[in-house]
Homo-oligomer: A and B are copies of this chain.
């Protein structure tokens, strides 16, 4: 937010990889991060999820590239919420996510050193991870009114990938077939979305090095819950790959230009 006003003034268009322009409300930003130094741009910034905001991104001056956890969770819930299916009695989403270590960024930190992480699985920031308000903002917009998210991030001993298992209560019973149709229609013609067949067991290596988001749908009859498993590569779809997709929309390039080439390190 220190640089963006000058870049825009100089006529540039910006895809911002930081969290600075993802929240529309300066007060919420300040609660989770710090005071905002360019609050007047918050209403202009477009949340850079191409599947939800392609039209706005095409003409945007400022695109806020989403976080990695939010990308997996919002894409996983968008068709369900957009169809008005969320329970009225208990409007709540639970997202239980596991991320590879590259999600923490590259750097020398004890918490991401090999022997601390290897052969172990950890829950961290169990309450209050900073991605929470960003996810709630977008889920609430899709639902039409505010509702809470319970989000638990975990660290898995792998280089990259995010798998989010999402639990929501449906307003009415819904068959797997209906869920599958709903999702397939919503993401029709979206080249980076794959709605998986019945019984598919999703894993992060399915999307390694790619911009894909894989979604698997489940109806848990015993618990009367919809479960959605969403898988992305946090380094591609969850960061730079999504920035390239946004750039492509902003510049009128092909939607997948530059994105089939895999990034294989780490």
Contact = CB atoms under 8 A, between A and B. Distances in A.
A21 interface: no
Interface string A121-164: 11111110000100000000000000011101011111111010
In the complex, the count of this chain's copies comes to 4
A96 interface: yes
A158 B102 contact: no
Most chain-B CB neighbours within 10 Å: which of A115, A122, A266? Answer: A115
B223 A92 contact: yes
A231 to B, nearest CB: 9
Contacts of A209: 209, 262, 264
Interface in A214-250: 216, 218-225, 227, 229
A39 interface: no
A109 interface: yes
A108 interface: yes
B266 A205 contact: yes
